[in-house]
Amino acid sequence: MADTEHQGLRERKKLQTWRNIRAAAFRLIEERGYDAVSVEDIAAAAEVSRSTMFNYFPSKEAIVLDPDPEAPSVWRALLRDHRDDEPLWTALQNVFLGYMGTFSDSLAVQKRLKATYPKLKESVRDHGEQFGIELHAWVAERTEPGRELEATLMLNTAQAVVGTAYALWSPDDGFDRLLDITRDCFARASNGFA
């Protein structure tokens, strides 16, 4: 077996273990509540040792809030795989909706938990920062000189659209409803408010 194949298999196994731990935690927390589930409970449900679990997550909070390890690959592909002639506003919509799709298995659980447990709501774990940095750089690269105001306004509006949709969405309505609200918000922003 080639070294790269072995490395690929090892990385896939690590990713699957990460996801198994996350899935076990979400399942237990949904059944019992956040405070009633211990790190040991999660490790047992995921069929890993406590020390193995801590190799993947530094805390129970991280299990709940950390993004999937493949998230950067997803947003980078979304930023890379667009048509050069696609209008910026359309490209931003596609990037945000595509990236949101990667959270379909976790966002409802996270929002419910943040609403119920102030400790999680107040968490400073913000993993969207790197996405924001790369998104700003991507917009800057696509922006012609003299159009910076328009491009920045579009980016800020797209971010506000996603934030508004998330704020209005009830996780009990399902993830597809969040996407519907987001699309509706993008359509309204596209038409302006005058």
Q: What is the pLDDT of residues 110-121, one digit of tens each?
A: 888 888 887 777
Residue 47 and residue 85 in one domain: no
- Domain residue limits at 48: 1-66
Helices and strands of the chain, counted as H and E runs = 11, 0
Among 6-20, 83-97, 119-133, 141-155, the least confident range: 119-133
Among 7-21, 89-103, 112-126, the least confident range: 112-126
The owner of tokens 């050069």 is 84
pLDDT at 5: 56
Residue 106 and residue 165 in one domain: yes
Distance in Å from the first CA to the final CA of the chain: 63
| pLDDT tens track for 146-193 | 999 999 999 999 999 999 999 999 999 999 999 999 999 999 999 987
| pLDDT tens track for 80-99 | 988 878 999 999 999 999 99
Pick from 46, 87, 83, 86: which is nearest to 63 by CA? 46
Residue 157 and residue 82 in one domain: yes
pLDDT grade for 102, boundaries at 50, 70 and 90:
confident
Q: Which residue has the higher pLDDT, 114 or 76?
A: 76
Q: Summarize the confidence of residues 8-14 as an average pLDDT.
A: 88
Number of domains the chain is built from: 2
pLDDT at 193: 72
Identify the CATH number of the domain in which residue 148 sits: 1.10.357
pTM for the complete prediction?
Answer: 0.82
Q: Summarize the confidence of residues 48-58 as an average pLDDT.
A: 94
Burial class, 47, CB count within 10 angstroms (exposed 0-12 / middle 13-18 / buried 19+): exposed
Residue 133 and residue 55 in one domain: no
Residue 53 and residue 87 in one domain: no
Residue 106 and residue 124 in one domain: yes
Q: Which residue has the higher pLDDT, 156 or 30?
A: 156
Q: Which residue has the higher pLDDT, 67 or 45?
A: 45
Last-in-domain residue among 66, 93, 110: 66
pLDDT at 160: 96
Residue 151 CA from chain centroid, whole number: 23
Identify the CATH number of the domain in which residue 57 sits: 1.10.10.60
pLDDT at 186: 97
Last-in-domain residue among 13, 47, 66: 66
Residue 155 and residue 112 in one domain: yes
State the Cα–Cα distance between residues 175 and 170, nearest whole angstrom. Answer: 9
DSSP label at residue 2: -
Residue 193 and residue 138 in one domain: yes
pLDDT at 84: 79
Residue 81 and residue 59 in one domain: no
Residue 96 and residue 29 in one domain: no
Task: Calculate what percentage of the chain has a pLDDT beyond 70.
Answer: 92
* Cβ contact 40:27 at 8 Å: no
Last-in-domain residue among 66, 87, 114: 66
Residue 75 and residue 19 in one domain: no
Residue 50 and residue 83 in one domain: no
